[in-house]
Structure 1
Amino acid sequence: MPHEAILAELDRRREAARAMGGEDKLTRRRENGQLNAEERLAALIDKDSFYETGLLGRSNFSAKTAEKSPRDGKITGFARIDGRDVGVVVNDFTTMGASTGGTNSKKMGYIRKTCTEKGLPFVHVGESTGARLPDAMGSRGMGTMLGNDTTQFRRMRDTPWAAAALDTSFGSSAWMCCCSDFAVMKKGSIMSVSSPRLVSMAIGEKVDMEELGGWRLHAEQTGLIDHFVDTDAEAMEVIRQFLSYMPSHNGELPPTAAVTEGSGQDQERILDILPEARTRVYNMKKIIEVIFDAGSVFEMKARFGKSAVVALARLDGKVVGVIANNPQVGGGALSAEACRKIVDFTVLCDSFNIPIVRLMDTPGFVVGTDAERRGAPGHIMNFMNATCLTTVPQVTVICRKAYGRAYVAMGGGAHNDTMIAWPMAEISFMDPVFATSIVHNRRPGDEGFEEALAEIQKDLEVWDMATIFSAHDVIKPQETRASLIRILDIHRQRRSGGIGQHLMRTWPTSQ
């Protein structure tokens, strides 16, 4: 065959592949305000940076399915985000519902394997119906589809993964969100193991889509999703933002950015936010915004375990992880959900060489029958274990209350490189009101309670801890930013080039 004819045939096949599911389906998406796979890819990556692999891949189940499966429903390849190489998979829902088949499984596996071996971040943009039937049915289907992916869904892979759950996200789209370091979901989408139709057949009753896997479920109850947005374009931007805090792999440091204008100004505002009365609550998020570089705070799981705050941020241009109690919610007492959130974030930071700053103000862990039913003891021990295994530089700031074992879990005692405290810090085994009731058998309102409480409170002040050098320094709240910058510079890991030991690299991403 002449060269011209062969090249023309290649062009024809390329054009057919890029047509995705056809103009009718693409038009319907536009009318519904949905981006298609190509448009999502363009919003995610740097312009003209995409190198596609598997463009000509199609279903290998039968000639009939091959004809209607351009790219086998998955756009896969490599691109750049903010100038850095990444591996990308974008599901094309217009092609067989982006269902998982034999060919596209090989395509996705190739991208993940290359990212792991070459030290590239991996991004999966999901919208899918799950496993493709009848391809997956029977022993041939199972032998082809399952059990052959050698990618480890753990941080052992050493590169950051990000995923999106958009619109209908069943099967692989859900799996990728659950085993990624960061997951974003568009409101109005549904993410679950299987479709409501299949679940309804399995359990014999009709299932509501929102209750099965709606965004509020994942925001407030499962904690499987880190961020929520309103549009496809916002989801792509949030993934870009997350990756801006991450190294390409765990053998390098996170990227440094220029210090944003206004950072560090008006640190006295902390005193306006922090109440003088020890029993009054406040929003720790406002203090975090003052301390860290302006506009750099990237909170994760904001609606899950709300008595704790976890966020990536920058301090003098360098990436840090922030773990804080938020007294505005439950007085800052740590629920089982808050423990899960902190553990997940701790492992993320330690895995990718991100120093941790903890801002402590907690009366302890949430107790009671409901907490026990939620497995609080196990989550508390996981929390303790993660804190003890952390090998990146870590600084603890005792802002106000530091009671009981929560003091240790939040980085108190020997579980930090430096521990500093504000003068209003209170440290004890339990809340002084409870201690007064137990030690002096007096409750609020009883005669002599206030005198007994005052006696107990004398022992809570930070001065005794500073005297025995269990607190390395006592500072004014408005000195916190400057102190943290200097302390983290001192504890920079010079011998290892800033790389931690990654003792939690096999810890699962979804607990």
Structure 2
Amino acid sequence: MPHSEFASAHEERRDAALAMGGPKKLQARADKGELNARERVDVLFDKESFRESGLFATSQFDSDRHATPADGKVTGTGEIDGRTAGVIAYDFTVKGASSGNVSNKKMAYMKAMAAQRGLPLVYLAESTGVRMPDIMGGTGMGGGNEKTRFLRRRESPWVSAVFGYAFGSAAWHTVSSDFAVFRKGAVMAVSSPGLVSRATGQTVDREELGGWKVHSRITGFADAVADSDEEAIELVKTFLSYLPSHNGEAPPVAAVSPGSGQKAQELTEIVPVSRAQVYDMRKVVDIIADTDSVFPIKAAFAKNMITSLVRIDGRSVGVVANNPMFKGGAIDTDAIDKVISFLVLCDSYNIPLVFLVDQPGFLIGLEAEHGRAAGKIINWMNALALVTVPTATVMLRKNYGQAYANMGGGLTTDAAAAWWTAEISFMDPRSAVGVVHGIDPDKDPEAFERRFDEMARESTGYDAARVFGVQEVIDPADTRRFLIDSLRDHQLRRTHGVGEHLLSSWPTSW
């Protein structure tokens, strides 16, 4: 066969693969304002940097050979702001991006490559799940190798963007990822609404089953929410900018934003001295961090606890903070899960941690106990004990009970400071008077006041400093300076900013 015929045949095959599910399906997506898989890849990567792997793959079954270009998955590598990353993009125009044996091999190849070569891996997720004809029967079920398919050791970051339906591996990869953004309208569940309805005999609403509101507010699987495909992918890129390409290097250092640290004096205006008054801790985080560098994680889930990636002096830092605006800053079981997940993320990728504390303790009661609060509290303590990145704590106002230790007190972090407004004790003194003496302040105010003074004694930041419970008592305006200096003092110099990753195999979901 002449060379020209080989070239012509090659172009025909290439064009067929790039045509995906055909012009009608592609146009239908465009009409709805949804990008197709290849368009999403183009948005993700720097211009003309994508290198595809597996373009000519198809189903292994002859009956589906011409109906499965790239076998429904677009995979390869490219550059994101000049750094190499891998991608697995689900092509919904090809059999609903269902997973067959060949596309599973493509995905396994990319996962292994990312882990071995130190590349972030991005999932652009949208799938109906497994390709049923391929998996039915003993030969279908028995032919797989599932042992380590979804094992995470966090050698390099996994990031997911969920667009439409996400069932099967699209869901499994999303909940296995270090960061997941859901486009509004996306639905992720173990099974489709139709299958659930047939199995239960009940009509199931897809949004109620696993819509973006459910996963951002109730399950916490959604770390962020986007209005469009483009915004979702932009959030993926922004998240990766805070992380190293792999766990064997420190995160990248950015230029310090103009104006950073210049609003420090406003902290005393934002945070009232009276612990009975609420305020929004997010404003404190904004002032302490470099200007416009705050990237919230799970912002709509467990709002009483803030977890955000930020930059302080140009360096990536993870912030864990109570927010008195919600539940008075008390810590419930959802907040515990949120914090543990964040500790795992930061320690796995060499990101120092900062705790900003203003909390009345763990939320108690039937719901907390039935929600396994005791076990979760100790899981948090175990995770914190395994953290090997630099850590620092700042106690702003109230800091009570066991949560004192969970939030970085009791020498559970490398450095600790208290604002001169801090109040540290086992319990709110008012509650302690009732517990210990049974005095009602309304019935016997004089006795209550006397016992209150007794219970409130030696509870200032200076009292904690006297026994070296904190290393410094600081002016609120000096908080950013304390954090910069403390994290610098505790830098992992011997390992060039790389921790021990003792949490790297911690379960990815709760």
Taking structure 2 as the reference length, the TM-score comes to: 0.98
Identity of aligned residues (%): 48
Question: Contact between 2:392 and 2:414, CA under 8 Å: does it hold in 1?
Answer: yes
User: Match of 1:86?
Assistant: 85
Give matches, 1:405-444, under 5 Å: 405-444=402-441
Deviations for 1:114-169, whole angstroms, at most 9, x for unmatched residues?
0001111100000000000211111221233x325744522x24101100111111
Q: For 1:36 and 1:296, locate their aligned partners in 2 and report how far apart those are by CA, in whole Å.
A: 31
User: Match of 1:199?
Assistant: 196
**Post-superposition offset of 1:13:** 0.3
Question: Contact between 2:80 and 2:237, CA under 8 Å: does it hold in 1?
Answer: yes
User: Match of 1:502?
Assistant: 501
Q: For 1:273 and 1:85, locate their aligned partners in 2 and report how far apart those are by CA, in whole Å.
A: 42
- State the 4+ residue runs in structure 1 displaced beyond 3 angstroms: 148-152
Question: Contact between 2:46 and 2:82, CA under 8 Å: does it hold in 1?
Answer: yes
| Matched letter for residue 51 of structure 2 | Y
Question: Contact between 2:150 and 2:176, CA under 8 Å: does it hold in 1?
Answer: no
Deviations for 1:162-221, whole angstroms, at most 9, x for unmatched residues?
001111111111111100000010111111111101111112211111111011111111
Q: For 2:142 and 2:47, locate their aligned partners in 1 and report how far apart those are by CA, in whole Å.
A: 39
| Matched letter for residue 91 of structure 1 | Y
| Matched letter for residue 451 of structure 1 | R
Instruction: Determine whether 1:147 maps to 2:140.
Output: no
Give matches, 1:14-413, under 5 Å: 14-61=14-61, 63-144=62-143, 146-148=144-146, 150-154=148-152, 156-413=153-410
| Matched letter for residue 276 of structure 1 | V
Q: For 1:470 and 1:150, locate their aligned partners in 2 and report how far apart those are by CA, in whole Å.
A: 44
Secondary structure of the corresponding residue to residue 427 of structure 1: strand
Question: Contact between 2:401 and 2:425, CA under 8 Å: does it hold in 1?
Answer: yes
User: Match of 2:491?
Assistant: 492
Secondary structure of the corresponding residue to residue 402 of structure 2: helix
Q: For 2:443 and 2:281, locate their aligned partners in 1 and report how far apart those are by CA, in whole Å.
A: 33
Question: Contact between 2:154 and 2:247, CA under 8 Å: does it hold in 1?
Answer: no
**Post-superposition offset of 1:451:** 3.4
Q: For 2:22 and 2:157, locate their aligned partners in 1 and report how far apart those are by CA, in whole Å.
A: 34
Q: For 1:488 and 1:250, locate their aligned partners in 2 and report how far apart those are by CA, in whole Å.
A: 19
Question: Contact between 2:193 and 2:205, CA under 8 Å: does it hold in 1?
Answer: yes
Question: Contact between 1:264 and 1:291, CA under 8 Å: does it hold in 2?
Answer: yes
Change beyond 3 A, Cα 1:277–1:148: closer
| Matched letter for residue 229 of structure 1 | A
Aligned-pair Cα RMSD in Å: 1.1
Q: For 1:378 and 1:214, locate their aligned partners in 2 and report how far apart those are by CA, in whole Å.
A: 29
Change beyond 3 A, Cα 1:396–1:229: same
Question: Contact between 1:188 and 1:214, CA under 8 Å: does it hold in 2?
Answer: yes
Q: For 1:239 and 1:426, locate their aligned partners in 2 and report how far apart those are by CA, in whole Å.
A: 39
Secondary structure of the corresponding residue to residue 257 of structure 1: coil
Q: For 1:379 and 1:125, locate their aligned partners in 2 and report how far apart those are by CA, in whole Å.
A: 32
| Matched letter for residue 265 of structure 1 | Q
Question: Contact between 1:112 and 1:151, CA under 8 Å: does it hold in 2?
Answer: no
Secondary structure of the corresponding residue to residue 218 of structure 2: helix
Deviations for 1:332-374, whole angstroms, at most 9, x for unmatched residues?
1100000000000001101111000000111110110011122
Secondary structure of the corresponding residue to residue 222 of structure 1: coil
Q: For 1:203 and 1:377, locate their aligned partners in 2 and report how far apart those are by CA, in whole Å.
A: 34
Question: Contact between 2:163 and 2:182, CA under 8 Å: does it hold in 1?
Answer: yes
Question: Contact between 1:395 and 1:418, CA under 8 Å: does it hold in 2?
Answer: yes
| Matched letter for residue 71 of structure 2 | D
Secondary structure of the corresponding residue to residue 268 of structure 1: helix
Secondary structure of the corresponding residue to residue 249 of structure 1: coil
Q: For 1:450 and 1:331, locate their aligned partners in 2 and report how far apart those are by CA, in whole Å.
A: 24
Question: Contact between 1:124 and 1:163, CA under 8 Å: does it hold in 2?
Answer: yes
**More deviation in 22-31 or 441-450?**
441-450
Give matches, 1:432-471, under 5 Å: 432-447=429-444, 448=446, 449-471=448-470
Deviations for 1:82-123, whole angstroms, at most 9, x for unmatched residues?
111111011110110000001100111101100001111100
Question: Contact between 2:244 and 2:252, CA under 8 Å: does it hold in 1?
Answer: yes
**Post-superposition offset of 1:279:** 0.7
Q: For 2:328 and 2:146, locate their aligned partners in 1 and report how far apart those are by CA, in whole Å.
A: 49
User: Match of 1:7?
Assistant: 7
Taking structure 1 as the reference length, the TM-score comes to: 0.98
| Matched letter for residue 233 of structure 1 | E
Deviations for 1:34-86, whole angstroms, at most 9, x for unmatched residues?
1111111111111111000100000112x221111111111000111011111
Structure 1 unpaired stretches of 5+ = none
**Post-superposition offset of 1:443:** 2.5
Change beyond 3 A, Cα 1:441–1:150: closer
Question: Contact between 1:109 and 1:149, CA under 8 Å: does it hold in 2?
Answer: no
Q: For 1:465 and 1:149, locate their aligned partners in 2 and report how far apart those are by CA, in whole Å.
A: 50
